[in-house]
Structure 1
Amino acid sequence: MDRDDIDKIAAWLADRGLAGDGELALLHGFCERCVEAGLALSRAVAIIDTLHPVYEGRAFFWDRDRPLATPVSEYGPSDDSSYSEEWQRSPFYYLLQSEDSELRRRLDAGETEDFPLLAELRAEGQTDYFAMIQRFNREVAIGEMDCFMSRWSTAQPGGFTDADLAALRRLVPMLGLAIKSTSLARVAESLVEAYLGRDAGRRVLQGRMSRGVVEKINAVLWFSDMQGYTALSESIASDQLIPLLDDYAEAVISAVHGAGGDVLKLIGDGILAIFTADDPEEACCSALRAEAELRLRLAELNERREAEGRPTTSIYLGLHIGDVFYGNIGSKDRLDFTVVGQAVNEVSRIASMCSSADRDVLFSAAFRASLPEAEGAKLVSVGRYALRGVGRAQELFTLDPELAVFPPP
């Protein structure tokens, strides 16, 4: 690989990094161009941490001679017992602890004793191994995203040449910069969706961030909370409270997302979500599917928690449909992307009436009227109720247990 080849690959990395290519496309394109230029790469792995509620980072793989069943792998926290032992026996862990930036082992010369991975690579015909770490400034690191790690191997007799290693030292930092750029965009997307909700997060990333800019929409409103949460929070140990909240929030949020809804707010044990569609009937049926799925999830969750000797509860749910304002509300320093309006107040009041009506789920008359006739027939009246803060009493409905079935998609 000569200087012109290096310059061309560097220019390609800059172009594709600015264009926003994905990490796997960047790694594969880089390796293919290096091979075309005469650098005898046979395998490569690029690793970068991220900021995500579930996993700590992602690894990307390239193999010159065989298709990969799993070209991308997401890994959990390195202090997780299921990962810890393997991680601590890896060359990357050694590099991080030693603060070195490179590690080379000539596999064909028998330099495989340090790490189990090296013996595996040699057995597969690899002759040389070269690992690198590009560290980020700690002041600008995001979470655990504090470095870019990569490893390169060859099956070429004699291993990497000095010119091969020089080319990697020149080009890999640029690959790392391109991958970091893409990963940061992914972090932003993950964070806004995790903390704002999927639809609200997408809207913010599309630039809808101006204070006071809202749109009027018609939406099905979902408000749910846990039965007896206050009493539970006072009666169980603090180390059981958060897992309790997490388990029941997971059941609700998974049901809402699975039916196409968007969760906008978690308020203690309460959850506010919306379902939207061009046709109100479709939005209402989606909410009914979420309610049916929630019942199944709660039954499984309570069975599991009871078997584990942990406290159980259930969910109160109110469903309503109406016009709301959807968008950015707050101060110039702290904005919230949410829904406001009388319908939001009403759905929370409807949910709060579940205890008085001795029902797990209550629907407004407006919600029932927006359902297809066949679905509306599955709801029965529980009477008229005065809702706090609402000017007139409203008739509320619940599911007829003999008729309630999972609505068709």
Structure 2
Amino acid sequence: MDPIETLNNWMMTEGRCSDDPIRIVSHFCTTLVEGGVPLWRVNIGQRFANPLLIAWGVVWTPDGAESYDVTHARMLTDDYIGSSFEFVFENQRPLHKSLRNLDPDKDHSSYLEFAADGGTDYYATFLEYGDGSQHGCTFATRAEEGFAPEHLAMIEGALPGLSSAMEPITMRKSTQSLLRTYLGTGPSEAVWNGSIQRGERTTLEAVVMFSDLRGFTAFSETESEQEIFEALDSYFEVVVRAVEKNSGDVLKFMGDGVLSVFPISTVDDCAKRCRDAATCAQQILAALAALNTSRTQAGRSELAIGIGINVGQVSYGNIGSQGRLDFTVLGSAVNLASRVEGLTKTIGERVLATETVATHAPDMFTEPGHHEVRGVSSPIQIFGLVEPAP
């Protein structure tokens, strides 16, 4: 059997079911090399359907292969503009380019880098999937004579099989990344696995943290729409980074509020997760201070925040109609965290926690005293966070 036919057959059978992009790309490249194609560096790019990440891919060399991600921000830089990826997508045709005698003033930096590393010839083309999407791939060689026409014919002949193997992986990664983006890591896995259907819920013990911007209503009435969105994005970035750094999950954005949880897997884990949440709150305050310094220097108003922390049982799941679902989080622990956060407006502390949280991290909290909380029959002890030094 022809080696390309054999490769395509492997890709459409074993490769398609492997769910391992590095294995697929490695097999693709090594088979071509064994067939006489002098490959040195191969980049198989895959586009994401995701508002944060625009692409991912696998880079192969004879020494091994590794995967990478590309953000939307990077697409606006010189890494993409003028590159071979831009060329094949804009012109809808492959690019075959010698890496000899390049012009430093005109040729893209990637060509110059490949040439400096011994590259002699370069080929770029794209994979086409059933949904109409296109995904760029590039091939470079160090061979003295470069790529011969038969080499390029072998590459093109093997692309249908590579598309067959990579497309289902790309579709799954896009769907999973969207779920993580909007639901967080834990809930997205449950939804993806089908364990949370309409009307069903998952219950767990967790430290709950609710954060909210102060004076946002007045801010919204005086600032432009662009300034409001930019302020929210900056504030959300501060909170999300701190939560994820401390192994928490952001479950929901509610206007200018953020609901996060730090799941408790065992009874012995409770103290650690309470400290994680307290550390997260300290990091949020420190990052917000840095953000406000930048905003002040830019002539913008500072952002103020209130945070409430509680520990208890929470339930999350999908609710809605047969044709439209929403992911939501419920439970008395969530309600109390929100109401404790509301006390920050009157107590004068930016971060407040319930007694259970403070008991597990006594060195991280002070005790303002007993306070009435809406929905609770009698006053409860509320503790203030020891804030980071300015």
Q: 1:74 aligns with which of 70, 91, 98?
A: 70
Q: Rate the CA distance shift 1:242–1:397 in 2: closer, same or farther, 3 A.
A: same
Distance 1:381 1:148, change over 3 A: same
Q: Which runs of no fewer than 5 residues in structure 2 stay unpaired?
A: none
Return closer, same or farther for 1:173/1:259 CA change in 2, 3 Å cut-off: same
Q: Distance in 2 between matches of 1:119 and 1:79?
A: 19
Matched with 2:188 is 201
Q: Secondary structure at the match of 1:56?
A: strand
- Name the residue aligned to 1:104: 96
Q: How much does 1:332 deviate?
A: 2.7
Which residue is equivalent to 1:170? 157
Q: 1:46 to 1:352 in 2, by over 3 A?
A: same
Q: Partner amino acid for 1:95?
A: V
Change (3 A) 1:32 1:360: same
Q: Which moved more, 1:338-347 or 1:123-132?
A: 123-132
Q: Go from structure 1 to structure 2 and tell me whether the alpha carbon gap of 1:396 and 1:237 turns closer, same or farther (over 3 Å shift).
A: farther
The 8 Å contact of residues 352 and 385 in structure 2, kept in 1 or not, is answered as: no
Partner of 1:17: 16
Q: 1:251 to 1:31 in 2, by over 3 A?
A: same
CA shift, 1:111, in A, is: 9.8
1:324 aligns with 2:317: no
Number of matched residues? Answer: 383
Task: Write the mapping of 1:361-372 to structure 2, written as runs, cut at 5 A.
Answer: 361-369=351-359, 371=360
> Are 2:274 and 1:284 aligned?
yes
> Structure 1 length normalisation: TM-score?
0.82
The one-letter code sitting in structure 2 at the alignment partner of 1:383 is H
Query: Take 1:338 and 1:305, find their aligned partners in 2: how far apart are those partners?
Result: 33
SS class of match (2:292) = helix
Deviation at 1:208, TM superposition (A): 1.5
State the secondary structure of the residue aligned to 1:19.
Answer: coil
Distance 1:302 1:179 in 2: 45
> Which whole-Å CA distance do the structure 2 matches of 1:322 and 1:353 have between them?
19
2:88: which partner in 1? 95
* Structural RMSD (CA): 3.0
Q: Distance in 2 between matches of 1:337 and 1:174?
A: 38
Alpha-carbon distance in 1 for matches of 2:112, 2:271: 62
Partner of 1:268: 255
Instruction: Map Cα deviations across residues 36-64 of structure 1 (whole Å, 9 max, x no partner).
Output: 23322233222222133334223532334
Q: Which amino acid is the alignment partner of residue 320 of structure 1?
A: N
Q: Which deviations, in whole Å up to 9, do the C-alpha atoms of 1:258-311 show, x marking residues without a partner?
A: 112111110110111112211332322221111121121122111221122221
Q: 1:130 aligns with which of 123, 127, 130?
A: 123
Q: Find the counterpart in structure 1 of residue 289 from structure 2.
A: 299
The reply on whether 1:255 has 2:248 as its aligned counterpart is: no
Offset at 1:405?
Answer: 7.0
Query: Quick one: structure 1 residues 187 and 157, their matched pair in 2 at CA, closer, same or farther if it must change by over 3 Å?
Result: same
Quote the residue 2:202 is aligned against: 215
For the 8 Å contact 1:148–1:176, the answer to whether it is kept is no
1:186-234 CA distance string (max 9 Å, x none): 2122111110112111211222132222233222221110011111111
